[in-house]
Structure 1
């Protein structure tokens, strides 16, 4: 097994890795404020959720595969390849001329994004000595919240002052700098770990989740529940996921090791991650549409108005990490998170056509705080609940589950949103809507507000389920002896949240796995 370098930090090379992490984090939120303008130019507001869903789906499924490819062919090469695929998808997305093209290119971009975070952390873990880890973690803990919270603002500025396509083109200079720094300034060990890529499991998982996503998007809206297409999708989803479970039990290196779910807290944490991922991505991709189409805000302003949600979430994540590190207690954070998320989603139902913009922005704080409690506590429970040999698999599973939650949440609640806009011409930009005759404009704004309410009701239901599931967490007292718990890497923004999880201080035992 490759050991970290004994001393010293290759700062230039690590900077390249950090740029890659920032790319993945920023791209999870930068597109949200550009979506209304994209829909107006390319048409197809009814398929707008797929711009997000395609990215999340391919990022989720490809994440564990990039990890295995790094083991087989070298982590530096795998990371550089992931950056290359991500940049190719970014450029093609910026060049897209139709909504269908954009969806396909976003899927390609997601494949690359799946390797950015896992590749960077794998290299950092390989190259950095334990004594230097706190300094690197401090850098990561500072950069990621800034990138996550700044994404909507940067996306809005680029859309307003250049073009929405620059929300994708901006990745090019950053990505090229990452490629150059890592290629020239980072020397990675050539030792490789023998591992087999679970292609069968990955294919079955992709098929099953894609069928579920299409089912969630079409059933009851585009097609009747009893239509042949919906029945066929149901059969494909059930067959693929059933076969996936069987394959994973026999696979030498499964995509999701079944043994991880023997601990109850680990299993509950994955359920909570799925729910919070679904709720967060759905809200973050539909609130900008309300702010721009209904409240008449610019893309830049809608990015600024999301900051209370994002900063509330990041602040709570950091506080939660420190609290768990200090006390070893985490159950109360999951329960509090579920309660605040439910209250926050219901509070946002106060939004209507005439709600003052500042009030609309301030109302998001409660929901953001609830998400912060849950994203951080589930990350810590996941990492503390895994054996050392399964730490990478546990992190990959959390990434996969949370991102899949976001994909399904955007698909299902996006279908609800679209259904409430039936009968309205949705191929307009916010500026074009503002120039419509007043009766038509007000009818459109009322319909869009109704669509947002549908999303928020779905979010409240998901949050209530998370609150109920949080009570199933069985808090286990810390060990009286043993090594400190492993540091939990920040969750990528594409999986619904980012923040530095703070490990227990040296000498303080971690909670014992359930």
Structure 2
């Protein structure tokens, strides 16, 4: 039954609040990380606070997506939010790094549901035509969290202490939970079907091994030796076992039949492009700007802000246009092309350009990415069976997150090796900071600026090529229009494609 206008608005407010809560948690914690680990006496284990959360949220995406199809998205959504709030409480109560890491695992599982279920619920209760617009409204949470998170984390830590970085989730989350109980309608699952435990466990092991292999290779290269070989072998064997399991079970975690649908495959490729092409590099851009353009940390933040703001505006605009016309193919074609041009400009920028130039280039990347980021989820849902809404949404999100995680590790490794090898003799790579560089002579600053530009140029070029692959994929997206019918999928159009 279609929702009334007021019920739909209340649902959007509820889902937006929950999405913002999940997206904000990661960016808030990153600012407070040094304070947290220093207070717990575990600075050398700092990465576990982030890795435990990120890995849990990634691995559980397909599991929660399938559970939503089997027991209903509303139940999974409310359970995820409850788990997230309970885990936030225990994160703030942690007395050592082990307790915090375990609580962050639980929080990451809950966060996966907060990220995935709003999109799944939208796919269940709206028509294909409505989805791009509604998803773009809910998608506002992500860029706003990127902008507000670091500032909020710093302010909360300084004013109340780091434990309130986690505890602040509880009052906000309880309001979101009350809204969700009222606003989220009951959604029928397919109870009685057996859950694919073997596939879920195998996929989790495979993803973990794959991410560890990428991290080891990026940080140590072939010198990683036996651990790298073991991770690669486990990932390869796990993937083969996972495919074999999925071909045999009645309710696979990731239905492989999706990959016979060209529309779904193209959406998956485009989602991977976003993870690899943008999310992998955005965290390194501020350091690059500080070193190459000799700016302060505050000023360097203007470049990612321009990127996120471009993403926010274009996402809202294209979501409205796609819902109004039903056309969708034009947006990923133009979006991937714009992002490729922006990254190509970043690769070709000479040292000493005004700061507004990289700001404009990265804003172009954000505009291009936002143009299709939410639309491809709506299109993939509409191309699949309604009974697979959760699993197809999870698959599209999973490849983006894995692509981002792996590419981030590789980009970080390339930057680390390149900078270390080319650094002036007067500077030590182990203690290199923007402040140290800015305190050096003008000649050393110029040398470091040229070094960072030289290291980053091929990275930007490679990411531009990634988006160029996205252009080709987008052109292969079958032309069609999103239907106004609640149970209909994407129907091929008899008219020329808009591209």
TM-score normalised by length of structure 1: 0.75
Shift of residue 225, structure 1, vs aligned partner = 7.0
Is this contact kept in 2: 1:309–1:366, CA < 8 A? yes
After TM superposition, list the pairs within 5 Å mapping 1:131-142 onto structure 2: 141-142=136-137
Query: Is 1:205 equivalent to 2:208 in the alignment?
Result: no
Shift of residue 312, structure 1, vs aligned partner = 1.9
Cα 1:348–1:53 shift into 2, 3 Å: farther
Is this contact kept in 2: 1:59–1:403, CA < 8 A? no
**What SS class does the counterpart of residue 283 from structure 1 fall into?**
coil
Q: Distance in 2 between matches of 1:342 and 1:476?
A: 22
- Number of equivalent positions: 479
1:86 is matched with 84
Cα 1:305–1:124 shift into 2, 3 Å: same
1:337 is matched with 335
1:484 is matched with 485
Is this contact kept in 2: 1:384–1:510, CA < 8 A? no
2:265 is matched with 267
Shift of residue 170, structure 1, vs aligned partner = 4.4
Shift of residue 229, structure 1, vs aligned partner = 2.6
Cα 1:290–1:34 shift into 2, 3 Å: farther
Structure 1: stretches of 5+ with no match in the other structure: 489-503
2:360 is matched with 362
Q: Distance in 2 between matches of 1:319 and 1:205?
A: 36
Is this contact kept in 2: 1:339–1:464, CA < 8 A? yes
Cα 1:385–1:308 shift into 2, 3 Å: same
Cα 1:21–1:65 shift into 2, 3 Å: same
Cα 1:56–1:438 shift into 2, 3 Å: same
2:145 is matched with 151
Structure 2: stretches of 5+ with no match in the other structure: 422-427, 495-499
TM-score normalised by length of structure 2: 0.77
Shift of residue 366, structure 1, vs aligned partner = 1.7
Q: Distance in 2 between matches of 1:244 and 1:204?
A: 6
The CA deviation string for residues 191-240 of structure 1, in whole angstroms up to 9 with x for no partner, is 76313322211221122122222222222651417933322222111110
Cα 1:61–1:224 shift into 2, 3 Å: same
The CA deviation string for residues 106-163 of structure 1, in whole angstroms up to 9 with x for no partner, is 554322111114334556677x698xx97x9977644532x33322331332355454
Is this contact kept in 1: 2:206–2:239, CA < 8 A? yes
1:297 is matched with 296
1:467 is matched with 471
**What SS class does the counterpart of residue 420 from structure 1 fall into?**
helix
**What SS class does the counterpart of residue 413 from structure 2 fall into?**
helix
**What SS class does the counterpart of residue 363 from structure 1 fall into?**
helix
2:249 is matched with 251
After TM superposition, list the pairs within 5 Å mapping 1:312-351 onto structure 2: 312-350=310-348
1:193 is matched with 190
